[in-house]
C-alpha cells in the first residue's frame, strides 16, 4: 500500500515539475523583447503601399471599356498566389475565374450590415473552394481562433499551385489579419515582416484588437522556434 502511495506521490511530483518547466519555457525571454500591439501599429503606419496595376489587367491597354471594367475591381496580390480584395470583387465570379482563383476565404460571412452575404452555394457554379468566418470588424472579436484554419486553407491553395482570394467588406482589416496569420504560421515571418509584405502591396489596417492578437501569435510562434 505504501509503495502504491509512493508511486502516486512520485507521479504527481513529476507532473508538477513538468508543468513548472513548461511554464518557465513559456515565459522565457525573447531576443529583442516581446512583440507588442504598439510595435505592429507603428509598422503599419511606417509602411506605405506601392502603386501597382490591378491583377489580371494589362496596364498598357488603351481602351475605354477595358478601363471602365477595372473601376469595379478592388484587388491586390499581396504575396505570390494570395490576393486580398473587397466584397464587390469577391462577388465577381467572372473576374475571380479570369484571375485563376481556386480558394476563397470570406472573413466576414453573414447577412447583417458589415458582413458579406455569400457562402459555398454562391460559388457552386465554379470550381472555387469556399470557406467563411462570421467575424465582425471589432477590436473585441476573437479572430485568433481562426488563425490556424485560415492558414491551412490558404496554404492548401498556394502549396498546390492554386490561388487564394481573401476578403471581408473593404479588404482592410479582417481579411488582412487572416493573411498575416498565414504568413506568420506557414512562412515563419515575424509579424512586422508580414505586415510590411502585405501593406506594401495593399492599403491594410487591421483594428487594434486584431493587431494585439497578432502580437500574441508572434510571441507564441517565436517561443516555439527558440
Question: Which residues are known to be catalytic?
Answer: 168
The grid cell for 28 is 522565457
Q: What count of Cα atoms within 13 Å lies in the side-chain half-sphere of residue 198?
A: 33
C-alpha gyration radius of the chain = 22
Q: How far apart are CA 24 and CA 71, in angstroms?
A: 55
Q: Helices marked H in 110-207 — which ranges?
A: 147-159, 174-186, 191-199
Q: What count of Cα atoms within 13 Å lies in the side-chain half-sphere of residue 173?
A: 21
Q: How far apart are CA 164 and CA 132, in angstroms?
A: 13
Asked if 84 contacts 179 with a C-beta cutoff of 8 angstroms, the reply is: yes
With cell 476565404, the residue in question is 105
Q: Helices marked H in 28-165 — which ranges?
A: 37-46, 64-70, 87-90, 93-99, 147-159
Across-strand partners of 194? none
Collapse the DSSP code of 39 into the 3-class scheme (helix H, G, I; strand E, B; otherwise coil) and give the result: helix
- Other residues' Cβ atoms within 10 Å of the Cβ of residue 80: 7
Amino acid at each position: 500500500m505504501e509503495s502504491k502511495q509512493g508511486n502516486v506521490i512520485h507521479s504527481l511530483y513529476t507532473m508538477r515539475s513538468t508543468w513548472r518547466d513548461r511554464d518557465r519555457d513559456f515565459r522565457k525571454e525573447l531576443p529583442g523583447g516581446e512583440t507588442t500591439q504598439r510595435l505592429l501599429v507603428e509598422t503599419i503606419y511606417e509602411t506605405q503601399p506601392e502603386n501597382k496595376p490591378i491583377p489580371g489587367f494589362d496596364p498598357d491597354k488603351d481602351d475605354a471599356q477595358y478601363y471602365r471594367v477595372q473601376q469595379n475591381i478592388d484587388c491586390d496580390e499581396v504575396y505570390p498566389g494570395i490576393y486580398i480584395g473587397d466584397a464587390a470583387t469577391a462577388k465577381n465570379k467572372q473576374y475571380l475565374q479570369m484571375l485563376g482563383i481556386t480558394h476563397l476565404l470570406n472573413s466576414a460571412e453573414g447577412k447583417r450590415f458589415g458582413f458579406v452575404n455569400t457562402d459555398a452555394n454562391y460559388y457552386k457554379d465554379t470550381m472555387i473552394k469556399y470557406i467563411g468566418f462570421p467575424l465582425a470588424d471589432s477590436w473585441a472579436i476573437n479572430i485568433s481562433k481562426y488563425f490556424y484554419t485560415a492558414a491551412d486553407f490558404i496554404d492548401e491553395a498556394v502549396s498546390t499551385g492554386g490561388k487564394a482570394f481573401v476578403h471581408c467588406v473593404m479588404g482592410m482589416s479582417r481579411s488582412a489579419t487572416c493573411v498575416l496569420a498565414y504568413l506568420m504560421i506557414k512562412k515563419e515571418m515575424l509579424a512586422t515582416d508580414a505586415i510590411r509584405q502585405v501593406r506594401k502591396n495593399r492599403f491594410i489596417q487591421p483594428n487594434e484588437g486584431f493587431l494585439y492578437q497578432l502580437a500574441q501569435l508572434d510571441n507564441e510562434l517565436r517561443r516555439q522556434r527558440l
